[in-house]
Amino acid sequence: MTQPSQRDPSCKAGLVAWPPVNPTVILLANADSNATRTNITLRISADQGRTYPADRVNQVFPGPALAGYVDVAATEEGAVVAFENATCSISVAVVALGANGTVPTFRCFNGTCIEATAGRGRGLSECQDACVPAGGGAYKCVGGLCVLDPGGVSKSDCAAMCVPGA
Residue 105 three-state SS: coil
More confident residue, 86 or 36: 36
Reported as a single tens digit per residue, the pLDDT across 141-163 is 776 777 767 667 777 777 777 76
In 3D space, the residue among 122, 131, 113 whose CA is nearest the CA of residue 58 turns out to be 122
Residue 23 pLDDT greater than 50, yes or no: yes
Contact status, residue 65 vs residue 9, Cβ threshold 8 Å? no
Q: Where are the alpha helices (DSSP H) in the chain?
A: 124-130, 155-161
User: Distance from CA of residue 26 to its chain's centroid?
Assistant: 16
The residues near 118 (Cβ < 8 Å, ≥ 6 apart) are 98, 102, 105
Higher pLDDT, 11 or 48: 48
User: What's the pTM value of the predicted model, to 2 decimals?
Assistant: 0.59
Centroid of chain to Cα 127: 14
d(CA 147, CA 162): 10
Q: Is the pLDDT of residue 44 over 50?
A: yes
User: What pLDDT sits at residue 16?
Assistant: 92
DSSP E strand stretches across the chain: 14-18, 25-31, 40-45, 57-61, 70-74, 78-84, 90-96, 106-109, 112-115, 139-142, 145-148
Q: Give the Cα separation of 64 and 10 in Å (integer).
A: 16
